[in-house]
Amino acid sequence: MLAYSKNANEVQRKVITNFMEQGQAPADTEIGRVNVNDADDWDLPDKKFYWVNEPHPYFSLDQDTGMLTMRGETQGYVGPLQFRVEDLKNKDSVTAYVTVEVQKITHERVNNAGSIRISGITDLEFINNWNYKVNE
């Protein structure tokens, strides 16, 4: 959700999309952590995470881990959330914006959803171009 770098303190943005079956009110759900994606990524204990404004009624934030949790009553929400991440060791902070989109989907769409499992091939082999004409 946030790419924080002590070397380049720039505002970062992230979009999270959560699909919810219509009529369902799930329990509170962790939707992601405000990341510290930088050279000193290992120093999460040195970071604190805060809401810039008042906490949003549909979401909660763990100040120690940066984990963002969507409350069960959240339905059909689209909007930005703003956070401040402080690096206590380096006495630095950065602002992060997370846009959360909660989309309702029908029961039919859930029933028609599918997935595939691919085995016997590496991720790199899978994304490489394959020439179907010569089977290579």
How far apart are the C-alpha atoms of 127 and 136, rounded to whole Å?
Answer: 13
pTM: 0.65
Name the residue with tokens 């994304």: 127
DSSP-derived secondary structure letter, 121: S
How far apart are the C-alpha atoms of 11 and 34, rounded to whole Å?
Answer: 13
pLDDT, tens digit (0-9, with 9 covering 90-100), for 75-103: 777 788 899 988 888 788 888 888 888 87
Helix, strand or coil for residue 113? coil
Contacts of 118 (CB under 8 A, 6+ apart): 126
Contact between 18 and 101 under an 8 Å Cβ cutoff? The reply is yes
The two most distant CA atoms of the chain are separated, in Å, by 60
pLDDT, tens digit (0-9, with 9 covering 90-100), for 60-70: 999 999 899 98
| DSSP H/E element including 107 | helix 107-111
pLDDT, tens digit (0-9, with 9 covering 90-100), for 106-126: 888 888 888 777 788 887 777
> Domain 12-110 belongs to what architecture?
Sandwich (2.60)
Domain ranges in the chain are 12-110
How far apart are the C-alpha atoms of 133 and 58, rounded to whole Å?
Answer: 52
Answer whether residue 136 shows pLDDT above 60: no
Contacts of 112 (CB under 8 A, 6+ apart): none
